[in-house]
Amino acid sequence: MMPREPSCEEVMARLFDYLDRELEAPDRAVIERHLARCHACFGRTEFERRLRARLSEAMDTPAPPRLKRRLERLLDTLETSDPNAEGESPWSPS
């Protein structure tokens, strides 16, 4: 629990707990008060919120068929290759 007004560093150290809603109500309220008056921390928090939203949206977008085929070939190569054998890297573009 944060009994006093936290510094920006302390707020940023707890930012992901705050965004993940893992803080108790009193700690959450302290951070929200700080964000209401600190433009720098508010801006960083909004950036992280928007980034998470964009990543979440991207997770719902299926991979293009060509990318799926390349990944499947790469995984097949990795599964069947001898890790001690020398040769072309499976990471090489095809």
- Residue-wise pLDDT tens digits, 38-79: 999 999 999 999 999 998 888 877 888 998 899 899 998 888
Q: In the chain, what are the domain boundaries?
A: 8-79
Cα(65)–Cα(32) distance, integer angstroms: 44
Write down the CATH number for the domain with range 8-79. Answer: 1.10.10
∠ CA(4), CA(7), CA(11), 5° rounding? 95
- pLDDT at 3 > cutoff 80: no
Rounded Cα–Cα distance for residues 17 and 10 (Å): 12
pLDDT for position 88: 54
